[in-house]
Amino acid sequence: MEESSPDAVVFGANGFIGRWTVLHLLEQGRTIAAVLREPAQSRAGELRAWLQDHGVGAERLAVVAGDLTAGAGLGLSAADDERLAGVRDVFNTAAVYRFGLRREEARTVNVEGALNVLRWAATRAGLRRLIHVSGYRVGLDPEARYPLPEAELVKLYRGKGAYEGSKTEGDAAVRVVAAQLGVPLTVVNPSTVIGHSTTGEAGQYIGLAELVRDLWTGRLPALPGTARTFVPVVTVDHFAKFMAAIPEHDPEPGGLHWVLDENTPDLPDLVRLLGGHLGVPAPKALVPVALVRRLPAALTGANPETLAFLTEDRYDTVSAEKVAEAAGLRQPPVETALRRWADRLVADRFGTTPAVLPGGFHDVGGSRTYVAGDKTSPGFVLLHGLPLDGESWQGVLGELDEAPALVADLPGLGRSAPTAATPLDWLTDLLAPVQTRPVIVAHSAATAPALRYAAAHPDRISALLLVSPYFLQAQAPRLLRTPTLAAPLLKRISADRLATSLLGASGGVSSDDARRAIASAAAQLHRPGVARRTAQWLRAANHPTERAALQALLGGAVSVPVHIVAGELDPLVGEPGPATVTTVPAAGHHPHLTHPSTIAAIMRRMADIR
């Protein structure tokens, strides 16, 4: 950290909004202090690592230990309080954002904590501005009142829930007390904050993100609200840039700025947009919010606290637009931002597991196909087997030193929507934009379209690596070749049971990558139609005519180099023809999960063939 004292301080700096605000303040060349709760140094390491991952150095970032629930002194040491004596701008992005809170649990941060930051800011002799983050459904009353009588507070929290009730009370409290103390205050009211406009990177997974999750998993049979219900959004990068711009471009304190994109589609249109993008059906039925409130939450699946956001209200954004114009900020195209956010939500499994190789949905061969990696210049094309998805290649990719690779979920499987096209036609369309001659690496069921593509387009690839080619191995058990029996089992299977089923013979799951891959596969199998389509693919792949056709194709119709990998515990029983073969000791049908370094080493050698 440089010797110069911080000129701005951010509370909630490790939160979703806070860290992006820190990033853009640092990009302005400012010297920033982040007040973090204990253990402050480990939290500081997380923040600095995140900034570094996003291309911003932390040389001008100071970290001090504090707690906004610790009274007006914020738990700062005397030395740190003196260190921050020259702070000009205070950004309070801290909040407890969660539904199902108790009233006092929510008030501790969202009301009392906000007031503690305000009172501390009032002691900074050179304070230029306190920027407080509120919310777009609060502060609509121009005459803020605080404190409220207990009877009104009870009604407020009962009607809105603890989170929204505390934000409403906190907004009024900050505005009233700031006027009493003469603190130069700006209140910023963001709508639903979605992911980054370019990368889609998210950081919070409740509210509208939960609705997208229910859409994705087939648990949204009807939509609460009307055709005009308006749940506006703003991207996190635009909002953070707006926050960072206020001290220089909002000329007078006292502003109440509603920051949202007025071009956000009405909620039914937004859901149809995302359903079409993700390749899942959107609900057609609308249910009035008043009716949803009267029905049991167990029946509707709706969180009662979210229903207050489902209104037809519009908001006055004029003051925010003036600040944005002065700062040269423009809202990114909202529909594009929503699609990228949805891509990232699916990639991160809605906050369950951060994506190692984030991807997105594209039209491929009539399927909304989930594709990750390099779509035009890959060195490798990785195709998964059953019942896995593209995440099954995480361990192998980690061994390849960032070699460019294209990874796609097969049509109708994993995260990809079904198609009427043949697997070969789908793969041909997937590889149409590719300008290199990659090595195709295919596992199990994917070896069929990969082999056919190699025979039809030898000029488009340099080599073919078949991992556990099922048509040269023992047939799958009869149960798995009977869709009416296999589909229900696959749809209900847990990640632990799937791991035991796939890898039990080779000693279980051997790495975090394999665990994440199998958890992803299990999650996709639970979505509507995926288990059924997986079972149908298994039956078709194991038909004797299909197996014989693939063996004949391998025997003489493929002119590119072909290498086969099989696990010792799942050996070849058919003739590999001219292909070379590697047997992986102690491996079963999924050596790329259990022995990723071995597979990666073979891939590197095959790439050298070119």
Q: Say whether 360-480+528-607 and 8-204+232-262+314-325 share the same fold.
A: yes
pLDDT at 510: 61
Grade residue 506 by pLDDT with cuts at 50, 70 and 90.
very low
- Please name the CATH architecture into which domain 8-204+232-262+314-325 falls: 3-Layer(aba) Sandwich (3.40)
- On the question of pLDDT at 516 being above 80, the answer is yes
Residue whose C-alpha is closest to residue 133's, from 27, 26, 243, 231: 243
**What's the rounded mean pLDDT across residues 242-253?**
94
pLDDT of residue 298: 63
**Is the Cα torsion angle 34, 37, 41, 45 positive or negative in sign?**
negative
Residue 191's CB: how many other CB atoms inside 10 A? 24
Average pLDDT, the chain: 93
Does position 426 have pLDDT exceeding 60, yes or no? yes
Domain ranges for the chain, please list them. 8-204+232-262+314-325, 360-480+528-607
Handedness of CA 381, 387, 391, 393 (dihedral sign): negative
pTM of the model: 0.94
Percent of the chain at pLDDT exceeding 70: 97
Instruction: Give the pLDDT mean for 348-356.
Output: 89
571-601: buried (b, 16+ CB within 10 Å) or exposed (e) per residue?
ebebebbebeebebeebbbbbbbbbbebbbe
Q: Which of 129, 249, 112 is nearest to 183 (CA)?
A: 129
The pLDDT score that the predictor gives to residue 570 is: 94
Give which of 417, 405, 406 is closest to 365, Cα–Cα: 417
Q: Does residue 598 sit in helix, strand or coil?
A: helix
- Distance separating alpha carbons of residues 480 and 538, to the nearest angstrom: 7
The backbone region for 581, taken as left when phi is positive above 0, alpha when psi lies in -120 to 50, beta otherwise, is: beta
List Cβ neighbours of 339 (8 Å cut-off, separation of 6 or more). 273, 274, 277, 360, 361
Q: Is the pLDDT score of 198 beyond 50?
A: yes
Structure confidence at residue 546 (pLDDT): 96
Q: Is the pLDDT at 236 greater than 70, yes or no? A: yes
> Are the C-beta atoms of residues 190 and 201 closer than 8 Å to each other?
no
Rg (CA), the chain: 28
pLDDT in tens, 587-600: 999 999 999 999 99
Token pair, residue 357, equals 């190789």
Residue 300 has pLDDT above 70, yes or no: no
542 neighbors 481 (Cβ within 8 angstroms): yes
- 65 pLDDT higher than 70: yes
Does residue 299 surpass a pLDDT of 70? no
Average pLDDT over residues 344-365: 93
What CATH number belongs to 360-480+528-607? 3.40.50.1820
| pLDDT at position 509 | 53
Rounded average pLDDT over 404-424: 97
